Amino acid sequence: MDTFEIKDEEINVEEIMEKIRENIKKRKENDDYNDGSFEEIEQVFSEISSSRKRSSQELEGINSNCNIRNNSYSISSHRPILGNFLVKGRELVHGEVRRYVDPVFQKQSELNYNFVDLLGGTKEVADDAKEIAETCSNSIEQLKTEVEVLEDENKALNHKIKQLNDEVKRLKVESKQLKSEIISDIIKEVEPLISAINLDLDNKDRLGEILKSRIQKESESQVMCSSEMANSDINYYEFEERFRGPRESILQHQTGFINYFANCTNVLDIGCGRGEFLELAKDKGIIARGIDVDKDMIDFCKSKGLNVELKDAIKALEEIEDKSLDGIFISQVVEHLSPNYLINMLNLCNMKMKYGSYIIVETVNPLSLFSFANFYIDLSHVKPVHPETLKFLVDMAGFRDVETKFSSPVPPEMRLQKLPNLDNQDEKTPMIEICNQNIDMINNALYGAQDYAIIGKK
């Protein structure tokens, strides 16, 4: 018969518990636990507890039957006469039998007691196993709670991820829509530029041949006229001071144009005169330079520290790099030019300017008889230019968004005065209104704005 021996020093409950904890920790880290694992462990612990209960009951039964001696046995007889002899005989036999049987019973009893002790040690191990099982059961309950918390956190995390995915999808849609809007805005900005470029090319092709033969002759004639005017004995600086007005009034007048050239770094003032515009540009931080054919004007501008040069407009423009200027200002110049020279100059201006930059051409307003009557005070004036004519020429040169602005109104005291309104309404009131309307019409014809400016954008 096989036997086994249990030694107390081989059973270490703390060591067993530590190993169980480590095993649980590793399986938790590896995510080996699931609902099936918990049910399986609980089933094992339930079987251990049930088995231990049965073992305890069986051990109590074995312990009560360890001593197999029949000490309660007594010899007697119911026979009145022979009974004594029978009892004596039986006692002799009983004593003789016990001499052989008692050692066996003694050894069997000792064996039984040793076996009970062994089972008692096993019971202690079972008790320890019960404690371990209870500890493990508590740990399992705790793990269940932690797993439930992790499951809730996992659900919340999945919900967050879903929200983020929805947000990413929404942002993608918005980004796509914004991209389309940006492209649409860019197209809206670029299309006018492309149209201006195409118009520029068409104008050059169409007008090139027409003007080619005329320009040379007209340029030579204009240069000759300019040279004659520049070399004349007239002090043109003193002439402008007297008839055009002092520099302070011109500075105030040209302030309305300076904002078109904000942040520009290469503006050309054609016919800079006394440098009013250049001085305004300098004060505003705009980099500008001027050209003029009058030496007195150039000397005066240089005395003011302005960047000017004695040069004809056509020659100056031909020397400038294409698409390098970011603004051109021409004030009170076109009335000094012949038509062909003016057309050539405007075409060159468009060629030399950057896209999106402005050109401003200001001149005398011939629609006002007041300004027209004073037009020929200046001997260098060739002919006035009608606002619609100049607007057309600027447009044909390739500029877009061309507009007309009138300026320099005649002072009210120099205009025709209206009839006063009567306090009491009577039959004369309509006549007064008609007269005043007629006076307005006459004022506009006789005393309209003295100057106008054509503003174009490349």
Q: What DSSP string describes 243-286?
A: HT--HHHHHHHHHHHHGGGTT-S-EEEET-TT-HHHHHHHHTT-
**Residue (of 359, 365, 402) closest to 385 by Cα position:** 365
Section 226-250 average pLDDT: 57
Most confident option among 183-197, 226-240, 335-349: 335-349
Please report how the helices 339-352 and 83-230 are oriented relative to each other, as an axis angle in degrees rounded to 10.
160
For residue 291, give the H/E element and its range: strand 288-292
Residue 42 or residue 202, greater confidence: 202
- pLDDT of 346-385, one tens digit each? 999 999 999 999 999 999 888 876 766 666 666 677 788 9
Rounded CA separation 225/382 (Å): 10
Beta-bridge mates of residue 403: 455
For residue 453, give the H/E element and its range: strand 451-457
Predicted pLDDT of residue 366: 87
What residue segments make up the domains of the chain, in order of their start?
A: 8-166, 232-411+451-457
Section 99-120 average pLDDT: 68
- pLDDT at residue 70 tops 90: no
First to last CA, the chain: 116
Write out the two tokens for 450. 């003295």
Residue 402 or residue 31, greater confidence: 402
Q: Is the pTM of this model over 0.75?
A: no
Q: Assess contact for 294 and 234: CB atoms under 8 A.
A: no
Q: Give the pLDDT band (50/70/90) at residue 2.
A: very low
Predicted pLDDT of residue 320: 96
| Tally of CA atoms within 13 A in the half-sphere of 421 that contains its CB | 4
Q: Give the pLDDT band (50/70/90) at residue 411.
A: low
Q: Which of 52-61, 273-282, 299-308, 315-324 has the lowest mean pLDDT?
A: 52-61
Read off the amino acid at residue 276.
E
Predicted pLDDT of residue 93: 67
Q: Assess contact for 200 and 398: CB atoms under 8 A.
A: yes
Predicted pLDDT of residue 298: 93
- Give the largest CA-CA distance in the chain: 195
Topology of domain 232-411+451-457 in CATH is Rossmann fold (3.40.50)
Q: Give the mean pLDDT of the chain.
A: 76
Write out the two tokens for 130. 């019960």
